[in-house]
Structure 1
Amino acid sequence: MKISIIGAGNVAWHLAITLEDHHHTICEVFSRTEDKAEKLCSLLYRAEATTDLNFAESEAEFFILAVADDAWEDVCSKLILPEDAILAHTSGTKSLEDLQKLMQIHHDLPVKCAVFYPLMTFTAGKELNFKSVPLCLESDDEDVEQILLEIAQEISQHVYFIDSAERRVLHVAAVFACNFTNHLLALSKTITDSENLDFDLLKPLISETFKKALNANDPVEVQTGPAIRRDKSIINRHLDYLRDDARLLEIYEVLTESIQNT
């Protein structure tokens, strides 16, 4: 299928390369910054970089909207697509209806809207086995559903039809599982760095923690540490150590209380 990517960030980078690896043709890559579009196009076979959202003459049949949620209004207000085009967004929080409403307002021709949401953390330039990435699909058109399914099953072994309400819940859960967890690891490193200790000392512990959590029926079953044991002596020593950093102190207290309440 002939596909164009609207966006040149982390999600766009992985999708464009993966789709082309599975014999789809990437026609254009849009970015407000020409350099970003050209950088991604340099990794593709024949894609053209563009800063113009007028795709009226494009050969693409399927367009992937992979821009930040805050950019939707501006992008969709300028977007011009060919007749019978399919436009699929990659947002975890925006609904199918959100996209449909914007296209109805700003587009003269009917546009078949859909969702093509990869539930994964992406970093441009970092290789990833896309076969393991869950793809969450949504459309209210049976023909579009079939097209989404065929494309998704080519690139991933984990394909689901998930509606907008369910996707929003998944995205909240993903922030806890991914973003907040990574932030806690970053804070852990600030603690070791402050005392000139090697963060690598914690990596076997981190690895084992994730292994246990992923293998358990419920991560709560493998919770360890002073909070779950209600070891006030250790908790108080930790709090004393953190007194000079109000941010870390607050996070420690909130998480300790949450573990104990759970």
Structure 2
Amino acid sequence: MKISFVGAGNVAWHLAQAFEEAGHWICEVYSRDTQKARQLASNLYDTNIQPDLNFSESEAEVIVIAVSDDAIESVIERIVLPEGVILVHTSGTRSLAEFQNLVEIYSDVFVHTGVFYPLQTFTKDVEMDYRDLPFCIESKTELIENKLIALAQSISDQVSRTDSDERFILHVAAVFASNFTNYLLTVSHELLEREQLSFDLLKPLIHTTISKALQSNDPSLGQTGPARRGDWKTTGRHLEYLQETNEDWTEIYRLLTDKIRNTYISK
């Protein structure tokens, strides 16, 4: 297929190259930051840098809006589209109905709409196996949905039809599983760095914790630690240290300890 991108951030960086490796042609890349568009295009075979949001002459069959959720409406307000193109966004939270409504308000021509949501965290320099990358696909019509599913299947074995409500719940769960987990790892790193201890010492523990959760149908069965055991002398000592160190870390520790205690000890 012929595909163009609006946005040249982490999502576009990975998807564009994955599509090209699967035999698709990336026609154009547009970004407010021309340098980012130039960097992405330089990693592709025959891609033009789109100078503005006028795609009216584009040969693209699919245009992917890969920008932040807050920027989607601004893009729809200004983009000029070729008639009949399939326009998709990659957001986990913006509903198809909301997206379709914006397109109907601002577009002067008929276009198809859809959602092409990759359920993953992306970083430019981190390689990944796209065959294992889950894609959540949605469109108003079965014909367009099937085209988007076929496009996703050209790079991944994990493709599913997912409506807007389901995708929203997946996104909420993903924030807990990925974003919050990474923040807690960041706290661990900063705590150890403050005391001139190596974060490498925690890596086997982190690996085992995540591996156990992935191997189980219920991660709660693998919960361990002083709060799980009801070891309040230890949690008290931890809190004394944290109160002298960082108020935010103290608040997080107390909150999570209370939640674990209420979940397990009260049963």
Shorter-chain TM-score bucket reads over 0.9
- 2:59 matches 1:31: no
Name the residue aligned to 1:116.
116
- Distance in structure 2 (CA, Å) of the matches to 1:41 and 1:110: 28
Name the residue aligned to 1:58.
58
Counterpart of 2:36, as a letter, is K
Equivalent residue runs for 1:108-187 within 5 Å:
108-187=108-187
Conserved? CA contact 1:8–1:36, under 8 Å: yes
- Distance in structure 1 (CA, Å) of the matches to 2:128 and 2:29: 21
Name the residue aligned to 1:4.
4
TM-aligned CA deviation for residue 171 of structure 1: 0.3
Name the residue aligned to 1:247.
248
- Distance in structure 2 (CA, Å) of the matches to 1:130 and 1:248: 36
Counterpart of 1:258, as a letter, is K
- Distance in structure 2 (CA, Å) of the matches to 1:54 and 1:27: 14
Listed as ranges, the gaps of 5+ residues in structure 2 are none
SS in structure 2 of the partner of residue 217 of structure 1: coil
Counterpart of 1:192, as a letter, is L
Name the residue aligned to 1:215.
215
TM-aligned CA deviation for residue 232 of structure 1: 0.7
SS in structure 1 of the partner of residue 224 of structure 2: coil
TM-score for both structures, normalised by structure 1: 0.99
Conserved? CA contact 1:33–1:51, under 8 Å: no
- Distance in structure 2 (CA, Å) of the matches to 1:176 and 1:45: 38
TM-aligned CA deviation for residue 149 of structure 1: 1.3
Deviations along 1:91-136, one digit per CA (max 9) or x if unpaired, are 0000001111111111011110000000000001321111110000
TM-aligned CA deviation for residue 261 of structure 1: 1.8
TM-aligned CA deviation for residue 51 of structure 1: 3.2
List structure 1 runs of 4+ shifted beyond 2 angstroms: none
- Count residues in correspondence: 262
Counterpart of 1:20, as a letter, is E
Counterpart of 2:259, as a letter, is S
Name the residue aligned to 1:256.
257
TM-aligned CA deviation for residue 145 of structure 1: 1.1
TM-aligned CA deviation for residue 258 of structure 1: 1.1
Equivalent residue runs for 1:7-86 within 5 Å:
7-86=7-86
TM-aligned CA deviation for residue 180 of structure 1: 0.3
- Distance in structure 2 (CA, Å) of the matches to 1:94 and 1:51: 26
Name the residue aligned to 1:107.
107
SS in structure 2 of the partner of residue 155 of structure 1: coil
SS in structure 2 of the partner of residue 242 of structure 1: helix
- Distance in structure 2 (CA, Å) of the matches to 1:137 and 1:233: 50
Backbone CA RMSD of aligned residues: 0.8
- Distance in structure 1 (CA, Å) of the matches to 2:93 and 2:181: 20
Counterpart of 1:246, as a letter, is E
- Distance in structure 2 (CA, Å) of the matches to 1:169 and 1:142: 23
- Distance in structure 2 (CA, Å) of the matches to 1:126 and 1:38: 20
Listed as ranges, the gaps of 5+ residues in structure 1 are none
TM-aligned CA deviation for residue 142 of structure 1: 1.3
- Distance in structure 1 (CA, Å) of the matches to 2:203 and 2:101: 47
- Distance in structure 1 (CA, Å) of the matches to 2:79 and 2:243: 53
SS in structure 1 of the partner of residue 108 of structure 2: coil
Equivalent residue runs for 1:197-212 within 5 Å:
197-212=197-212
